[in-house]
């Protein structure tokens, strides 16, 4: 069969790559065309648009790049028509994917959504689009099944969280044994995100903290779509090491982490690394988000546990003094033990490994 997969971010590229590998195992003659990144390309898909050209963060940023986004939508529709897939698989990235899904369903394509849009966070009325234009929906957070089925009477499938697979695959490989950095001091990892706007804002704040921690070495997990010199321009002559496309290797040897909200918060928790969650956006985007977003937390760790397990420092609270104060807390052994116990509870909620395999098999059989 022919599959068209659309992912617009680094996390979608990761989950998409694992799904693609499993699709090929169940459908060896599969043809897969995709929007994604290097991981999906390496998994065997023909990537026609890289997510680095799609990642616009925040309401204001989307507005000023609207022309580019509209051109991408137009190109995507034409490309799908030419390829004529049996199934279209949307991975997260709802602002773009739901627009394509609406068009695709009218064109009689089979529409599958993997990693559901976070309707529980904001713009819940999009459930009407899901019901009308999506044939099959897979959720990856335990509470989402109840949200869709009990509140909105729309059947979904929860077959586990794919990050369990990604980290399990890493631990079973030789990758973690690679020496990515000389271990002179305990490491504090910095995971500043995968978009230039968020990286710039977060790093400018974090570098102010570093002189207060001479007994630790700070290491940035460089995103695969961001060039090293972009980070270097921001950090200047600050004593920070940058490792590119080695996030799991870095987390496996870290003592603590400062993490931008998103998938990285959950990845850090699954590696059982104490963390602080930091988030900053443009003032306009932040003010709009405050009006529209209706969730208590921004990190997946806290959302899944429904309580503040990891500290979140958002916008004006994301400053040098607050980061230092919270960093001292997670470096303290007593606080670390409590946090690690909560991580164990989190892991038990997410289910067993094999999620990508189960979902791929289900998609192929649909």
The three-state DSSP-derived secondary structure of the chain is CEEEEEECCHHHHHHHHHHHHHHHHHCCCCEEEEEECHHHHHHCCEEEEEHHHCCCCCHHHHHHCHHHHHHHHHHHHHHHHHHCCCEEEEECCHHHHHHHHHHHHHCCCEEEEECCCCCCCCCHHHHHHHHHHCCEEEECCHHHHHHHHHHCCCCCEECCCHHHHHHHHHHHCCHHHCCCCCCCCCEEEEECCCCHHHHHHHHHHHCCCHHHCCCCEEEEEECCCCCHHHHHHHHCCCCEEEEECCHHHHHCCEEEEEEECCHHHHHHHHCCCCEEEEECCCHHHHHHHHHHCCCCCCCHHHHHHCCCCCEEEEHHHCCHHHHHHHHHHHHCHHHHHHHHHHHHHHHHHHCCCCHHHHHHHHHHHC
Please indicate, yes or no, if residue 44 is contained in any of the structural domains: yes
pLDDT value for 161: 93
Structural domain containing residue 247: 172-350
Domain count, the chain: 2
Please state, rounded to an integer, the average pLDDT across all residues of the chain.
Answer: 89
Please indicate, yes or no, if residue 325 is contained in any of the structural domains: yes
- pLDDT of residue 180 exceeding 90, the answer is no
Tell me the average pLDDT across 236-249.
90
Please indicate, yes or no, if residue 203 is contained in any of the structural domains: yes
Please indicate, yes or no, if residue 231 is contained in any of the structural domains: yes
pLDDT value for 141: 92
138 vs 292, residue with greater confidence:
138
- Are residues 192 and 122 part of one domain? no
pTM of the predicted model, to two decimals?
0.81
- Are residues 153 and 26 part of one domain? yes
Structure tokens at 8: 């617009």
Please indicate, yes or no, if residue 166 is contained in any of the structural domains: no
pLDDT value for 179: 66
- Are residues 134 and 18 part of one domain? yes
Tell me the average pLDDT across 171-185.
70
Cα separation of 40 and 50, whole Å?
10
- Are residues 129 and 6 part of one domain? yes
- pLDDT of residue 303 exceeding 80, the answer is yes
- Are residues 356 and 344 part of one domain? no
- Are residues 357 and 306 part of one domain? no
Please indicate, yes or no, if residue 167 is contained in any of the structural domains: no
Structure tokens at 311: 């500290």
Tell me the average pLDDT across 3-15.
92
- pLDDT of residue 177 exceeding 60, the answer is no
148 vs 226, residue with greater confidence:
148
Of the listed ranges 210-219, 235-244, 291-300, the one predicted with least confidence: 291-300
pLDDT value for 366: 81
Of the listed ranges 21-25, 31-35, 48-52, 158-162, the one predicted with least confidence: 48-52
The confidence band for 36, taking pLDDT boundaries of 50, 70 and 90, is very high
Say if CB 322 and CB 285 are below 8 A apart. Answer: no
Q: In percent, how much of the chain has pLDDT > 70? A: 90
Tell me the per-residue pLDDT of 87-146, one tens digit each, with 9 for 90 and over.
999 999 998 999 999 999 999 999 999 999 989 887 889 999 999 999 999 999 999 999
The confidence band for 66, taking pLDDT boundaries of 50, 70 and 90, is low
182 vs 292, residue with greater confidence:
182
51 vs 134, residue with greater confidence:
134
- Are residues 357 and 341 part of one domain? no
Q: Is the torsion defined by CA of 300, 301, 305, 307 positive or negative? A: negative
Cα separation of 127 and 307, whole Å?
26
- pLDDT of residue 189 exceeding 60, the answer is yes
Say if CB 276 and CB 326 are below 8 A apart. Answer: yes
pLDDT value for 201: 85
pLDDT value for 290: 61
- pLDDT of residue 256 exceeding 90, the answer is yes
- Are residues 47 and 190 part of one domain? no
- Are residues 358 and 246 part of one domain? no
Please indicate, yes or no, if residue 357 is contained in any of the structural domains: yes
**Which CATH number covers residue 307?**
3.40.50.2000
- Are residues 183 and 154 part of one domain? no
- Are residues 196 and 94 part of one domain? no
- Are residues 229 and 201 part of one domain? yes
């Amino acid at each position: 069969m022919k599959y068209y997969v659309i992912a617009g971010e680094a996390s979608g590229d990761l989950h998409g790559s694992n799904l693609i590998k499993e699709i090929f195992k169940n459908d060896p003659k599969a043809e897969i065309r995709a929007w994604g990144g290097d991981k999906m390309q390496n998994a065997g898909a023909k990537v026609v648009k890289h997510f680095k050209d799609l990642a616009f963060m925040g309401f204001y940023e989307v507005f000023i790049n609207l022309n580019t986004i509209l051109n991408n939508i137009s190109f995507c529709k034409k490309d799908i028509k030419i390829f004529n897939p049996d199934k279209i698989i949307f991975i997260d990235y709802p602002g773009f994917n739901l627009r394509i899904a609406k068009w695709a369903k009218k064109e009689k394509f089979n529409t599958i959504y993997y990693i559901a849009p976070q309707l529980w966070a904001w713009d819940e009325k999009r459930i009407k689009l899901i019901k009308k234009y999506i044939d099959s929906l897979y959720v990856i957070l335990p509470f989402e099944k109840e949200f869709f089925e009990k509140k909105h009477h729309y059947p979904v499938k929860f077959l586990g969280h794919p990050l369990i697979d990604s980290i399990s695959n890493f631990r079973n490989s030789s990758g973690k044994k690679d020496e990515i950095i000389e271990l002179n001091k305990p490491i504090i990892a910095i995971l500043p995100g995968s978009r230039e706007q968020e990286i710039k804002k977060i790093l400018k704040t974090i570098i102010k903290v570093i002189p207060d921690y001479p007994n630790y070495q700070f290491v940035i997990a460089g995103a695969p779509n961001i060039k090293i010199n972009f980070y270097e321009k921001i950090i200047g002559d600050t004593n920070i090491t940058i490792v590119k496309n080695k996030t799991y290797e870095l987390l496996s040897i870290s003592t603590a982490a400062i993490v931008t909200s998103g998938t990285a918060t959950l990845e850090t928790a699954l590696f059982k690394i104490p963390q602080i969650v930091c988030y900053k956006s443009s003032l306009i985007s932040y003010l709009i988000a405050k009006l529209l977003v209706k969730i208590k937390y921004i990190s997946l760790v806290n959302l899944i546990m429904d309580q503040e397990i990891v500290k979140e420092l958002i916008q004006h609270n994301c400053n040098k003094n607050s980061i230092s104060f919270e960093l001292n807390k997670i470096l303290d052994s007593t606080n670390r033990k409590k946090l690690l116990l909560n991580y164990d509870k989190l892991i038990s909620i997410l289910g067993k490994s094999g999620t990508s395999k189960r979902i791929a098999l289900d998609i192929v059989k649909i």
